[in-house]
Amino acid sequence: MILFFADVWHLWLRHMRATIRLPIWIAVTLIQPVIWLTLFGQLFRRVVELPGFETTTYIQFLTPGVLIMTAMFGGAWSGMGLIDDLHHNVVDRMLATPVHRAAVIAARVLHAAFTVVVQSFIVLALALALGAGWPSVGGTIGVLVAAALVTAGFSAMSTGVALLARREETMIAVINFFGLPLAFLSATFMSAQLIPQWMQSVSKANPVNWAVSAARHAVLGTDTSAVWINSALLLVFTLLMVMFATASFRVYRRST
Amino acid sequence: MDAIHVENLTKTYKGGVKALQGVSFNVKQGEIFGLLGPNGAGKSTTVRILSTLSQADGGRATVAGHDVTSDAAGVRRSIGYVAQATGVDRWATGRENLTLQAQMLRVSTSTIRARVGEMLDWVNLNEAADKLVNTYSGGMKRRLEIAMGLVHQPKVLFLDEPTTGLDPETRLALWRDLERLRAERDVTVLLTTHYLEEADALCDRLSIVDHGRVVIEGTPSALKADIAGDTVTIDIGDAGVRAGEILGGVNGVLEVIPAGALVTVRVRDGATAVPLVAAALGQAHIAVHTMTLGRASLDDVYLKYTGHHYDAGFATATGGKR
Ligand SMILES: Nc1ncnc2c1ncn2[C@@H]1O[C@H](COP(=O)(O)OP(=O)(O)OP(=O)(O)O)[C@@H](O)[C@H]1O
Ligand SMILES: [Mg+2]
C-alpha cells in the first residue's frame, strides 16, 4: 500500500514537471477562462433580467459554469498524454517494472484533478476581478471538490478511451462529439428553469450538470443539500469511470 | 540454474499471425545471448513474453528462476528491459528518467541518488544529465535507456535491437559499452539483432530465429566452424594448377578452389592449417606472394539453416565482413 502511494507520488511528479515545462499550456490555462468569462459574460449579460436566475449579475451565475466546463475539458483531454506515452513505449517500459498498475492510471487522474484545482483558483480570481465576488470558505471547498471530481471522472474516462483507441484522432473525435453537447445540456450557461423540458430531463443524467449544480449552489451558498447530493452522484460517476479505465488497461495488456 | 529458460513458447496474435511456433533456448548466468533473425522472425515477441509484457499461448519460461506467468512480479524485480523502440520520457531530463525508473524498480530511497549518479557516469551522460531528453541524440537516448535497464542492478537484461537505427560510429561505441558490461558486471544479457556482425562480436552464444522457430543454436565460432571452417586465400602467381594438387593433400584442408593466381582454400581451422599450407608450398618450391586468413561468416551459417541469404541491406550496414 505504501508502495502504491509512493508510485502515485513519483508518477504524479513526472506529470507535474512535464506540465510546468509547457509554457503554452500555462498560457492557455490562463487565457481560456478569461475568454469564456468575458465573452459569454458580455454576450449573455442581460439574460439575468429574465425571471428564474438565482443571481443578480450573469458573471456571478456564469463563474461556476465556466469553472466546471474548464474542469470537464481538462479531464477529457488528459488521455492524450497517455496516448503519447503508449506510442513512445513509456507505458510498456513501466509495465516491465514492479510499479503498481493502478498507480499508472491514478497518477494521471490525480494530476488532471490537481491542475484543474489550480485553474479553478484562477477562474475564481478572475471572476472576483469582474465583480462576481469570492465564495465563502465552505463554498470554495465545495466548488473545488465538484471541479476535482468531475475532472477525475472525465480523466478516467479519457484514460480508458485512450487505452482502447490508442489514437489521437479517435480521442479528438470523441471529445468534440461529447464535450460541448454535455456542456450545453446542463445549466452551465442558462438557468435550469429556462431550458426546455426535454433538455432538463437529459441534464438530470449528465455528470457535467451534477457538477455545475454542486458548484453553483456551493458558490452562491443557496442549497447545501444539493451540493452534497450532486457531489455524491459525481463520486459514483468517478468511481465507475475509474473501473472503466482499469478494465481498459486490462484489455490493453491482453492485446499485446 | 539457467538465468533464462525458454521451453517451446508459442504465440499467435489476434488476426492469426503465428509469431512464435515453439521457441526454446537456455541462457546461463553471466552470458550474453543473441537472438538473430530477420524482420518478423519473432524476436521482440519472445523478449516481450520474457519481460512479462505479453502472454504466450503455450510453453513455459523462467527468468532468474521466476516463472513469467505465475510469478510475473518476481520477474519484473529481476530484469532490466530496453525495448526495440525508445521508451524514455522526452519531456524529462536524463537524471529524472533514471530516478523515476529506479523508484519504480524499488531501489531503496537512500541509495537512489548515488546509484543514478553512478549510472550516468557509467554511460558517460554526466554533462547532459540535466538536459531534457528531447535534446538528446539517438545514441545518447540509447545509452540512457541501457542505464535505466541497469539502475537496479538486475540479474537479467533484455536488449531488443539495441543498435538499430544508430550510425556505425555510435553502434561501435555501444558495442564497447556492452563489452564493458560483460567485463564489469555479472549480468545475463539477452539481446536481439538483425546484424550478423553484432551477434558475432558480442554474443557468447546465439540462436538464429526464423518464422517463429529457432533454426540453430550455438556459439558464433562453433556455428561458423560447423559450416565452413576458415578461408585461406593465397596469391601464388602462375603456379595455380600445381598448387591445387599439393594443397588438396594437406591435413585439415576441406576444399581447394583455384581461380587464376588466387587460390581459395577452405580449412577446418585457420591457425593450424596456415603453417602446414605454407610448409607444403615451400617444399614444392612455389613462391607465395600473399596469404590471408579469413573466417567463415555467420551469413554462411544463416544461409545453410534458413535456406535464404541474409538481407544484404542489414548485413552490410556496418560495412561488415561477408
Ligand atoms: N501486437 C501485434 N499484433 C499482431 N501481430 C503482431 C504484433 N506484434 C508483432 N506481430 C507480428 O508477429 C510477428 C513477429 O513479430 P516480432 O515483432 O516479434 O518480430 P521481430 O523478430 O522482433 O521483428 P523486427 O526485426 O522487425 O523487430 C510479425 O509477423 C509481426 O507482424
Ligand atoms: Mg523486433
For chain A, the domains span 2-255
Single-letter amino acid code for the residue at B14: K
CB contact under 8 A, B87 and A17: no
Would you state the pLDDT for residue A246? 93
Alpha-carbon distance of A202 to A224, in angstroms, equals 23
Q: Give the pairing of strands B205-210 and B32-36.
A: parallel
Residue B322 buriedness (CB in 10 A; 0-12 / 13-18 / 19+) = middle
Q: What are phi and psi of A195, to 5 degrees?
A: -95, 150
The dihedrals phi and psi of B208, each to the nearest 5 degrees, come to: -95, 125
Q: Is the ipTM of this complex over 0.95?
A: no
Per-residue pLDDT, B263: 77
Q: For residue B73, what is its C-alpha cell?
A: 512480479
Q: How far is CA B58 from the centre of its chain?
A: 26
pLDDT in the model for residue B275 = 86
Beta-bridged to residue A23, according to DSSP, are none
Q: How many helices (H) and strands (E) does chain B have?
A: 12, 14
Q: What is the DSSP string of B44-63?
A: HHHHHHHTTSS--SEEEEEE
pLDDT for the residue numbered B315: 36
Q: Per-residue pLDDT averaged across A225-237, rounded? A: 91
Q: Do B87 and A93 touch (CB under 8 A)?
A: yes
Cell of B214: 529457432
pLDDT value for B311: 56
Question: What's the length of chain A?
Answer: 256
Write b or e for each residue in B73-82: b if 16 or more Cβ atoms lie within 10 A of its Cβ, otherwise e: ebbbbbbbbb
C-alpha A97 – ligand 1 centre gap (Å): 22
Q: Could you count the other beta carbons within 10 Å of the beta carbon of residue A55? A: 17
* Those residues with Cβ within 8 angstroms of residue B250's Cβ, 6 or more apart along the chain or in another chain: B273, B276, B277, B280
Say yes or no: A10 contacts chain B, CB-CB below 8 A: yes
Q: What gap in Å lies between CA A47 and CA A57, rounded to an integer?
A: 9
Helix H or strand E segment including A208: helix A207-220
CA A119 distance to own-chain centroid: 10
What is the pLDDT at residue A38? 85
Pocket residues: Cβ below 6 A from ligand 1 = A 256; B 13, 15, 17, 19, 37, 39-45, 84, 194
Cell of residue A44, nine digits: 449573455
pTM listed for this prediction: 0.82
Phi, psi dihedrals of residue A250, rounded to the nearest 5°: -65, -40
> Residue A42 and residue A255: Cα distance in Å, rounded?
50
User: What's the mean pLDDT when you consider all of chain A?
Assistant: 88
pLDDT given for residue A150 in this prediction: 94
CA of B42 to the centre of ligand 1 (A): 6
- What sign results for the dihedral spanned by CA atoms A223, A225, A228, A230? negative
CA distance B45 to B161: 12
* pLDDT the model gives residue B318: 34
Specify the 3-state DSSP secondary structure of A1: coil
The region of weakest confidence among A72-76, A105-109, B228-232 is B228-232
Quick: pLDDT tens for A8-45: 999 999 999 999 888 787 788 778 888 888 888 878 87
pLDDT of A201 reads: 82
Q: Work out whether strand B205-210 and strand B213-218 pair parallel, antiparallel, or are unpaired.
A: antiparallel
User: CB neighbours of A94 closer than 8 A, spacing ≥ 6?
Assistant: A104, B104
Question: Sign of dihedral through CA atoms B291, B198, B137, B143?
Answer: negative
SS3 state of residue B136: coil
Looking at CA atoms only, how far is residue A97 from chain B in angstroms?
Answer: 5
Distance from CA of B76 to the nearest CA of A (A): 5
Residue A198 binned pLDDT confidence (cut-offs 50, 70, 90):
confident
- Rounded to a whole number, what is the largest CA-CA distance in chain B? 75
Q: What is the pLDDT along chain B (322 residues), one digit of tens a residue?
A: 789 999 999 999 988 889 999 999 999 998 999 999 888 889 999 999 999 999 999 999 999 999 999 999 999 999 999 988 888 999 999 999 999 999 999 999 999 999 999 999 988 899 999 999 999 998 899 889 999 999 999 999 999 998 887 788 888 888 888 888 888 878 999 999 888 788 888 899 999 998 899 988 888 888 777 665 677 778 877 766 677 778 888 888 877 777 667 777 778 777 888 888 888 888 888 888 888 887 766 666 676 676 665 653 443 333 333 3
Cβ B202 vs Cβ B229: under 8 Å: no
How many Å lie between the centroid of ligand 1 and the Cα of residue A20?
37
Contact A92 B54 (CB under 8 A): no
Closest CB to B105 among A6, A14, A98: A98
Alpha carbon distance B260, B285 (integer Å)? 18
pLDDT at B228: 56
- Average pLDDT on A168-190 reads 85
Contacts of A97 in chain B (CB under 8 A): 76, 101, 104-105
**Cβ contact B88–A3 (<8 Å):** no
Q: Is B81 helix (H, G, I), strand (E, B) or coil?
A: strand
With cell 469564456, the residue in question is A36
